[in-house]
Structure 1
Amino acid sequence: MGNKKIVKFFQKIGEAQGLLEDIPKMTRRSAIMIPILCPESDWHNDIVDIKNWSLLFTIRSKNLKEHAGEVSFPGGRIEENESPYETALRECDEEIGLKKENIIATFQLNNSFARSGYHIVPFCSLVSNSFKLKMNADEVSETVTLTIQDILNIEAWSEIRTLATFKREVWHYPIEIKNVGFFDIWGATGNILKDLMLRIEKNI
């Protein structure tokens, strides 16, 4: 069972308002999960210091047909008779070995979409320290953890992009990741990250 103070604070983040987007009509649907890890010392010492919490990102395999080599969160297409949350759980297990029993609490973020034509249902989960990473090299070439403070330090910027006749504001989070390289976290991943960060900033 998780630390009650930490879980309560995590749930408060989910209740805050984030980034709202107009979603164009898309037939393909997917779901993603943002795993959040809290330092073990915080659990044991009853400390809530969200700036030390970490987000787990994946770098997609260069062999994938869509969004190859991009920074993303675990996720994929919603299968028939599967709820978005079930999809997010399945994909987490397949990509990084994160299982339902490793998750302490979850909230849903605002929907987003990808230029490849997917309507995305995002979730954010507080992950237990019992989680052991098991990367699937067929889908993920690398995993990266960034603290909330790391992300707050990024000079994020946005631009207006057009998809057919649909215009949207797209957020970019450019960052040099040690021993990995330079990445621009943008598009759907950037907008979902912006949604979460807006909620976090309201609770710091």
Structure 2
Amino acid sequence: MTGDALRERLIAVLDPVESWSPERRAGRSDYDLNPDATRRPPGELRPAAVLVPVMAGPDGPTVVLTRRADELTSHAGQVAFPGGRIEPGETALEAALREAWEEIGLDPATVEPLGLGDPYETGTGFLVTPVIGWVGGSAVLTPQPGEVAEIFAPPLAFLLDRANHRQDHYDAPDGARRLYWAMPWEGRYIWGTTAGMLRALTIRLDSRDEAVA
């Protein structure tokens, strides 16, 4: 699929960026695989946003991901999209672009926002809005020292292939077994919320294809 065709396909399945509001409710969550786990009331969820940067590559489109620094006190070493909390007065797009600039040096001027994915509720109490953006070829990425240990970019085709999605688990302190999505790729373990949002994007694209067929 050409870059232009992929851009149009993503725009067709995503919600318009302008449709974001703080009142949006979760469409997907860490609880999809764990319906019996105790959830926070919607009013207690903290708003956050991530940028899902899609870049054209010589072998096809890729998605930019980060591995968080090992010395961080929260989610150290985990794979994530650039992102963080939505500050008062910000939109999801503004927060996602700001965080991407701070974490990986991605110039907002090189990002074409394509749309929003499903709001995603995390087990840690955040309501995360994925902002999917098309990144121009002139973009230069630089990891923020002490925050990002590595930037890497798996093929989009790999991440959207359900054959590469698997359900793994961990045993919580209360003894309950918690399931989560995982997509291991070349020694990196893409899992949890990041994998869950990619799974949700896959479902959106597949549903669009089925509707057109």
**Larger strand percent:** 1
> 1 CA distance for matches of 2:145 and 2:88?
26
Whether 2:163 is the aligned partner of 1:158: answer: no
Whether 2:177 is the aligned partner of 1:172: answer: no
Deviation at 1:153, TM superposition (A): 7.7
Q: Which of 5, 10, 29 does residue 47 from structure 2 map onto?
A: 29
Question: 1:83 matched to which residue of 2?
Answer: 91
| Segment of structure 1 superposing worse, 61-70 or 19-28 | 19-28
CA deviation map 1:134-162 (0-9, x unaligned):
22122110011011233328531236899
Deviation at 1:38, TM superposition (A): 1.4
Q: Which of 191, 200, 207 does residue 195 from structure 1 map onto?
A: 200
In structure 2, relative to structure 1, the CA distance for the partners of 1:37 and 1:4 (3 Å cut) is closer
Question: 1:145 matched to which residue of 2?
Answer: 153
Q: What TM-score, normalized by structure 2, do the two folds share?
A: 0.72
Report the residue type matching 2:96 in the other structure: A
Alignment: residue pair count: 182
Contiguous gaps of at least 5 residues in structure 1: 42-50
Deviation at 1:98, TM superposition (A): 1.3
Question: 2:23 matched to which residue of 1?
Answer: none
Does the CA-based 8 Å contact 2:28-2:200 persist in structure 1? no
> 2 CA distance for matches of 1:27 and 1:199?
24
Q: Percent identity?
A: 25
Deviation at 1:67, TM superposition (A): 1.0
> 2 CA distance for matches of 1:117 and 1:161?
19
> 2 CA distance for matches of 1:113 and 1:201?
22
In structure 2, relative to structure 1, the CA distance for the partners of 1:6 and 1:94 (3 Å cut) is same
> 1 CA distance for matches of 2:80 and 2:201?
14
Question: 2:33 matched to which residue of 1?
Answer: none
Deviation at 1:120, TM superposition (A): 0.9
Q: What TM-score, normalized by structure 1, do the two folds share?
A: 0.75
> 1 CA distance for matches of 2:122 and 2:6?
32
Question: 2:120 matched to which residue of 1?
Answer: 112
> 2 CA distance for matches of 1:69 and 1:160?
18
In structure 2, relative to structure 1, the CA distance for the partners of 1:104 and 1:85 (3 Å cut) is closer
Question: 1:98 matched to which residue of 2?
Answer: 106
Q: Once superposed, what is the RMSD of the aligned Cα atoms? A: 3.0
Report the residue type matching 2:102 in the other structure: E
Does the CA-based 8 Å contact 1:158-1:170 persist in structure 2? yes
Report the residue type matching 2:131 in the other structure: F
